[in-house]
C-alpha cells in the first residue's frame, strides 16, 4: 500500500495541512452524505412523516458518533505527543485502549436500546403518530452503532499514522454503498424507513471493518498491542481511558449538543408549526452534519500537526497551524453559508415535494439557518485547537456555551420575540455568542 509521506515535525505547515485537509474533507463530506441521502430518499419515498421519524432517531446516531470521536480525538492527541517523543510502544497502547473502551461503551448502548426501544423513543421526544416509522428505523440501525464508533476512532488514528487517503476511502466507500442500497431498498423493494435503516447499517459495518483491517495488516507505526491481564495494566488502562475522555469530551459534547439542538428544535417546531414544522426543521438537521463535517475536517486536519509539534516544543509551528486552520475555516464557512442561502429552494426540493406544506416552511427558514455555517466553522476550529493542546477545560466550556447554555434559551426566547424566524435563528445566535466569548477570552491566554 502506497503511504503518504508526512513528517509532522519538519514539513512546511501549509503543505502538511493541505495533505491532510483535502482527503479529510472529501471523506467527511462522504460520511455526511449518508445522512443526507437517507433524508432525500425517505422524503420522496415515504413522505414528511418518514423524514420527521428519521429525525427523531438521529440523536441516537449522533451520540454513538460522539463517543467514537471523543476517543478518536483523545487517543490521537495523546498518541501524537508520544510519537513526537519517539515512544511508539506507548502510542500503540493508547490506540488499543481507545478501541477497547469505545467498543465496550458501544455494546452497552446497543443493549439498552434493544431492551427498551419504547423508552428510548419517548426519551427522544417521539410522538405517537411518528412512533411506528421511528421504531422501524431505529431497531435495524442500533447494532451498527458498534461499527460507527470503531470507524470514528479509526479515522483519527489512520490519519496520524500517515494515511489520510486510506481514511478517506474508509468514509467514501460506505457512503457510495449507502446511496446505492438506499435507492434499492426504499424504491424497488418498497421497504420504507426500515430499508433506509438497513442500508445505513450495512454501510456503517463496512466502514468499521475497513478501519480494523488497516490496523491489523496495513498500518505503519500504529498497531494493536496486546494488553497484559494484570491489575497494574487494568489501572493503566482506566487512567489512560479517563484522560482520553477528558481531552475528547468536548467533541462528544458537540455531538450531544447536536442531539439537544434536534430534540429542542423538534419540540419548539412541533409546538408552533405541528408535524409539518418538524419535517421542515428536519431539512436543516439533515444539512447540519454537512456543515459540521466541513468544519470538523479543518479541526481534524490541524489536530495531529498541532499536537505533534506541541509535544515536540515547536510553538512557532503550532501557531502557524492555527492561523492556517482559522483562514481555512473562514473560507469554508463563507462558501457553505452562501450555498445554503442561495440554493434554499433547490435544496429543499431534493428532500420534499413542493406540494408538501413543509416545503414552504423550510424554503423560508433555510436562509436564516445558513448563517450558522460561517461562525460554526471558526468555533469548532478553536475548540479543536484547545483539545490539541490538552486544554480540555476551555474546549468543554466553549462547547457547552454553543451547544446548550446559549442554544436552549435562544430556541425559547427568539421565537417569542420575533416569531417563527426566531426558530431558525436560534442556532446562528448561539454560535455568534460563543464566538464573541472565545475572542474576548483569547488575548488573556499567555
Q: How far apart are CA 63 and CA 255, in angstroms?
A: 6
Look at residue 443 in the predicted model and tell me its pLDDT: 55
Which residue in the block uniquely carries the three cell numbers 437517507? 38
Q: How far apart are CA 210 and CA 30, in angstroms?
A: 15
* DSSP-derived 3-state class of residue 226: coil
245, 78 Cβ separation under 8 angstroms: no
Cβ neighbours, 10 Å, residue 197 = 25
Look at residue 361 in the predicted model and tell me its pLDDT: 84
Quickly list DSSP for 93-126.
HHHHHHHHHHHHHHHHHHHHHHH-HHHHHHHTT-
Number of domains in the chain: 1
- Extract the C-alpha cell encoding 106: 458501544
User: Is residue 244 assigned to a domain?
Assistant: yes
Q: Which helix (H) or strand (E) is 379 found in, with range?
A: helix 372-388
Look at residue 295 in the predicted model and tell me its pLDDT: 85
229, burial (CB in 10 Å: exposed 0-12, middle 13-18, buried 19+):
exposed
* DSSP-derived 3-state class of residue 371: coil
173, 210 Cβ separation under 8 angstroms: yes
Contacts of 445 (CB under 8 A, 6+ apart): none
Q: How far apart are CA 388 and CA 81, in angstroms?
A: 10
Q: What's the full length of the chain, in residues?
A: 446
Query: What does the buried/exposed string (b/e) look like for 92-119 if buried means 16 or more CB atoms within 10 Å of the residue's CB?
Result: bbbbbbbbebbbebbeebbeebeeebee
- Extract the C-alpha cell encoding 208: 468499521
User: Is residue 7 assigned to a domain?
Assistant: no
Q: State how far the alpha carbon of 432 is from the alpha carbons of 286, 332, 383, 407, 429, in Å.
A: 21, 17, 14, 10, 5
User: Is residue 4 assigned to a domain?
Assistant: no
User: Is residue 25 assigned to a domain?
Assistant: yes
User: Is residue 1 assigned to a domain?
Assistant: no
342, 398 Cβ separation under 8 angstroms: no
**Below-70 pLDDT ranges, the chain:** 1-6, 34-35, 48, 125, 127, 443-446
Quickly list DSSP for 298-342.
HHHHHHHHHHHHHHTT-HHHHHHHHHHHHHHHHHHHHHHHHHHHH
Q: How far apart are CA 287 and CA 35, in angstroms?
A: 8
Contacts of 267 (CB under 8 A, 6+ apart): 125
User: Is residue 6 assigned to a domain?
Assistant: no
Q: How far apart are CA 293 and CA 299, in angstroms?
A: 10
110, 201 Cβ separation under 8 angstroms: no
CB-facing half-sphere around the CA of 60: CA atoms within 13 A: 33
Look at residue 446 in the predicted model and tell me its pLDDT: 46
Q: How far apart are CA 14 and CA 6, in angstroms?
A: 12
Which residue in the block uniquely carries the three cell numbers 419535517? 279
The rounded radius of gyration (Å) of the Cα atoms in the chain is 21
Q: How far apart are CA 160 and CA 156, in angstroms?
A: 7
Q: Shortest CA distance to 383 belongs to which of 367, 400, 402, 398?
A: 398
Residue 41 is classified by DSSP as H
Q: Shortest CA distance to 424 belongs to which of 414, 433, 416, 434?
A: 414
Angle between helices 48-84 and 372-388 (to 10 degrees): 30
Q: How far apart are CA 77 and CA 244, in angstroms?
A: 8
Residue 217 is classified by DSSP as I
Look at residue 4 in the predicted model and tell me its pLDDT: 52
Look at residue 434 in the predicted model and tell me its pLDDT: 93
164, 21 Cβ separation under 8 angstroms: no
Residue 10 is classified by DSSP as T
142, 114 Cβ separation under 8 angstroms: yes
Domain that holds residue 70: 13-444
Amino acid at each position: 500500500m502506497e503511504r503518504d509521506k508526512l513528517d509532522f515535525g519538519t514539513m512546511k505547515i501549509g503543505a502538511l495541512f493541505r495533505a491532510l485537509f483535502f482527503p479529510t474533507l472529501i471523506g467527511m463530506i462522504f460520511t455526511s452524505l449518508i445522512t443526507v441521502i437517507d433524508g432525500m430518499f425517505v422524503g420522496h419515498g415515504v413522505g414528511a412523516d418518514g423524514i420527521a421519524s428519521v429525525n427523531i432517531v438521529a440523536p441516537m446516531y449522533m451520540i454513538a458518533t460522539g463517543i467514537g470521536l471523543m476517543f478518536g480525538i483523545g487517543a490521537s492527541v495523546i498518541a501524537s505527543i508520544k510519537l513526537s517523543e519517539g515512544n511508539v510502544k506507548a502510542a500503540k497502547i493508547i490506540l488499543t485502549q481507545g478501541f477497547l473502551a469505545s467498543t465496550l461503551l458501544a455494546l452497552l448502548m446497543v443493549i439498552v436500546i434493544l431492551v427498551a426501544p419504547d423508552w428510548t423513543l419517548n426519551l427522544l421526544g417521539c410522538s405517537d403518530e411518528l412512533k411506528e416509522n421511528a421504531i422501524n428505523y431505529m431497531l435495524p440501525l442500533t447494532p451498527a452503532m458498534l461499527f460507527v464508533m470503531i470507524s470514528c476512532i479509526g479515522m483519527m488514528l489512520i490519519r496520524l499514522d500517515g494515511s489520510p487517503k486510506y481514511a478517506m476511502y474508509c468514509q467514501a466507500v460506505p457512503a457510495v454503498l449507502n446511496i446505492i442500497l438506499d435507492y434499492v431498498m426504499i424504491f424497488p423493494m418498497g421497504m420504507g424507513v426500515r430499508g433506509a435503516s438497513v442500508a445505513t447499517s450495512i454501510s456503517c459495518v463496512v466502514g468499521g471493518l475497513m478501519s480494523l483491517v488497516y490496523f491489523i495488516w496495513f498500518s505503519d507505526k500504529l498497531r494493536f498491542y496486546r494488553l497484559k491481564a494484570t491489575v497494574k495494566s487494568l489501572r493503566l488502562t482506566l487512567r489512560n481511558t479517563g484522560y482520553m475522555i477528558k481531552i475528547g469530551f468536548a467533541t462528544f459534547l458537540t455531538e450531544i449538543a447536536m442531539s439537544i439542538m434536534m430534540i429542542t428544535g423538534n419540540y419548539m417546531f412541533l409546538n408552533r408549526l405541528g408535524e409539518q414544522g418538524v419535517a421542515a426543521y428536519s431539512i436543516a438537521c439533515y444539512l447540519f452534519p454537512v456543515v459540521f463535517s466541513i468544519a470538523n475536517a479543518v479541526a481534524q486536519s490541524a489536530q495531529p500537526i498541532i499536537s505533534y509539534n506541541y509535544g515536540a516544543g515547536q510553538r512557532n509551528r503550532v501557531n502557524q497551524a492555527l492561523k492556517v486552520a482559522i483562514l481555512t475555516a473562514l473560507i469554508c464557512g463563507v462558501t457553505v453559508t452562501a450555498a445554503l442561502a442561495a440554493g434554499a429552494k433547490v435544496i429543499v426540493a431534493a428532500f420534499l415535494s413542493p406540494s408538501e406544506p413543509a416545503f414552504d416552511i423550510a424554503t423560508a427558514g433555510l436562509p436564516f439557518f445558513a448563517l450558522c455555517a460561517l461562525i460554526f466553522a471558526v468555533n469548532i476550529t478553536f475548540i479543536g485547537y484547545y483539545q490539541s493542546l490538552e486544554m480540555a477545560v476551555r474546549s468543554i466550556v466553549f462547547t457547552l456555551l454553543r451547544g446548550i447554555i446559549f442554544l436552549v434559551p435562544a430556541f425559547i426566547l427568539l421565537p417569542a420575540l420575533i416569531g417563527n424566524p426566531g426558530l431558525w435563528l436560534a442556532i446562528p445566535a448561539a454560535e455568534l455568542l460563543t464566538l464573541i466569548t472565545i475572542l474576548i477570552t483569547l488575548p488573556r491566554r499567555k
